[in-house]
């Protein structure tokens, strides 16, 4: 049973998983969309939504919490100044996952995760 087990382990150690998701969320906010596997995108979605929620809050403590995850000051700056304004009226669901089909080498299901700026 998978009751109360919310962490996607992805066959990685906790430090590797943490570093991987930090890099992915930084790339997502830097480029507005990235291509990755479906399992990684589903794990990234919750972290990205939390970062947008922190940006919408906008205070100094939220900025420091975001810097603890993202680690690039210019990306956090654009997140708090530009992305937070675009999502100001939206209550959640800041990312979209679009299926792209299997990867050629190992037939892993590939998706594109992007920020929704409607």
The structural domains of the chain, with segments of one domain joined by +, span: 14-115
Output the CA–CA distances (angstroms, integers) from residue 112 to 4, 44, 73, 94, in the order listed: 28, 12, 25, 14
> Both tokens of residue 73?
């000051």
> 89 φ, ψ to 5°?
-90, -5
Class (C level, CATH) for 14-115: alpha beta
pLDDT, position 67: 97
Rounded Cα distance between 6 and 2, Å, is 8
Separation CA 79–CA 72 (nearest Å):
11
Give residue 50's pLDDT: 96
Q: How high is the mean pLDDT in each 10-residue block of the chain (118 residues)?
A: 88 96 98 97 96 96 97 96 94 96 97 93
So what's the pLDDT on residue 19? 97
For residue 43, give the 3-state DSSP assignment.
helix
Residue whose C-alpha is closest to residue 39's, from 114, 115, 105, 99: 99
């Amino acid at each position: 049973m998978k009751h109360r087990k919310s962490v996607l382990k992805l066959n990685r150690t906790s430090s590797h998983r943490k570093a991987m998701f930090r890099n992915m969320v930084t790339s997502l906010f830097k480029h507005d969309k990235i291509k990755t596997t479906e399992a990684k995108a589903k794990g990234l979605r919750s972290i990205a939504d939390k970062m947008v929620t922190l940006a919408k809050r906008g205070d100094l403590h939220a900025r420091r919490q975001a810097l603890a995850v993202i680690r690039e000051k210019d990306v956090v700056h654009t997140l708090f100044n530009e992305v937070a304004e675009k999502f100001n009226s939206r209550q959640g669901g800041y990312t979209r996952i679009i299926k792209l089909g299997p990867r050629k080498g190992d037939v892993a299901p590939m998706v594109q995760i992007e920020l929704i700026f409607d």
